[in-house]
Structure 1
């Protein structure tokens, strides 16, 4: 299993409603009937996976995540139809033709060769099955650009430079090309959400649960606090807090494919 940051379900759960909206929008585009078997790859703390029980009340659902902390938190949602297991999405596989729906939400952006994984996902689907993908596409946003810039500076660079780098993510057209070649009918799109966040330095609190976490964890005590203070100050300038909250534009990329 590949090295992964130690994720915090509590920090990730900050702004849960805003984080959950793309998942709901993704699942609404899956028009599957008679669903009996569902896998959520990169299930996180399990709350969103649990909502799939309402979408497909006859299905057995499995959530997979590489973080022991996330899987432990997800167990509170487990029941006779919903289970969670530790596993790396990069190495995941299932018997050919065994699944009705595969969902992977805000996970594949961490994997450089993610497009190479898609044929295996499609093979795991039965004919007529569905694959649904959502990834962040905001790598050029100030939140990420500032993070990379600071991580490349001394005294942080020795520890953090490599942890700030992210793979280039595919666009909607890339998903269409790859999944169409695997015999799927593909619906792909992108959208920018304008999240209205409450609280002091809200964007810092947002990224501490996701994109900035590997960088912060790479830094030793003391230097971590120094980095976070400098990063937070620059984020507060880039995303000013207004009387009504802090506006965070966030681009996301979606693909929903049905196997012929």
Structure 2
């Protein structure tokens, strides 16, 4: 990283607190990002009704929502997301009838306030709840919105102490960036330990399966870890810096330097360990 003695830039006007998302950047690592959802999907039990009614919370660009339609082709599946960019991409690529007689649609939804407006057989969320402060407080209303025998299932990243995130938080808090970015690199304090998720879901009367996995992902290309975080963890920072191209380039140069040291490339690519936390909670039938 560059020296902390560099002069601080003046604060910029604050944009919307919600990050601006780039679906194409996010999808650059679609295979690695989808694998945890596939592993979650394999642990979801059979649903109580056919055709099933399914909600995907934080559907993003819709690529994993479409995987739900492969598992339950007759289901009516609705993806909810806060990002207009993600919803536009999802709607263009996936909305409409499915080959099994079901359908996919996508709606605006803020997960911090989302409540079921109808009865669901499955409420699922893939790598989204980490953005929602206090999301465990919604488990009760979400489970109440399930049909008896229905399931709440989610996975969240659990890698927020990893170098990728620790270095980002440290850089945002250096004198050069503190006035503009303090807190924007450390917004992932909302994830609980697996045992806490287990305890909360058991208290709600569910049969619960909670586990964690660390994926040792082999990323290829130039600065692949930086390319990865540009699609997720860096979104609040890039949104905050907005159209200040000089600031964006300077910040990325400093962060790239730190990531290269933390994640040196090997002969076949760069190993990027990524811990994930999973929970599958089945409501009493």
TM-score, shorter chain, exceeding 0.5: yes
Partner in structure 1 of residue 208 of structure 2: 186
Measure the CA separation in 2 of the matches of 1:14 and 1:165. Answer: 23
Equivalents in 1 of 2:252, 2:142: separation in Å? 38
Structure 1 runs (4+) deviating above 3 angstroms are none
Q: Is the 8 A contact 2:60 2:81 kept in 1?
A: yes
1:64 aligns with 2:80: yes
Question: Are 1:108 and 2:108 matched, yes or no?
Answer: no
**If you compute each CA radius of gyration, which structure gives the higher value, 1 or 2?**
2
Please, what TM-score do these two structures have when normalized by structure 2? 0.88
Gap regions ≥5 residues in structure 1:
none
Q: Is the 8 A contact 1:43 1:49 kept in 2?
A: yes
Q: Which residue of 2 aligns with 1:218?
A: 240
For residues 55-108 of structure 1, the C-alpha deviation after alignment (integer angstroms, 9 at most, x for no partner) is: 112210000000000000001201130000111011111146x10001111011
Question: Take 1:169 and 1:184, find their aligned partners in 2: how far apart are those partners?
Answer: 20
* Local SS of the residue matching 1:115: helix
Structure 2: runs of 5 or more not aligned: 1-15, 98-102
Equivalence for 1:42: 58
Secondary structure of 2:112 counterpart:
helix
**Where does residue 7 of structure 2 map in the other structure?**
none
1:201-240 to 2 correspondence within 5 Å?
201-219=223-241, 220-240=244-264
Count of residues in correspondence between the two structures: 258
1:216 deviates by 2.4
Equivalent residue runs for 1:1-260 within 5 Å: 3-33=17-47, 34-35=49-50, 36-75=52-91, 76-80=93-97, 81-95=103-117, 98-166=119-187, 167-219=189-241, 220-260=244-284
Structure 1 residue 221 displacement after superposition: 2.8
Provide the C-alpha distance between the structure 1 equivalents of 2:94 and 2:186, rounded to a whole number of angstroms.
33
**Distance in 1 separating the partners of 2:186 and 2:167:** 12
Distance in 2 separating the partners of 1:168 and 1:47? 25
Structure holding more helix per residue: 1
Q: Distance in 1 between matches of 2:164 and 2:185?
A: 11
Deviation of the 1:224 alpha carbon:
1.6
Q: Determine if contact 1:216/1:228 at 8 Å carries over to the other structure.
A: no
TM-score, normalised relative to structure 1? 0.96
2:9 is matched with none
Distance of 1:95 and 1:68 partners within structure 2: 21
2:45 & 2:248 partners in 1: Cα distance?
Answer: 46
Q: Distance in 2 between matches of 1:95 and 1:7?
A: 27
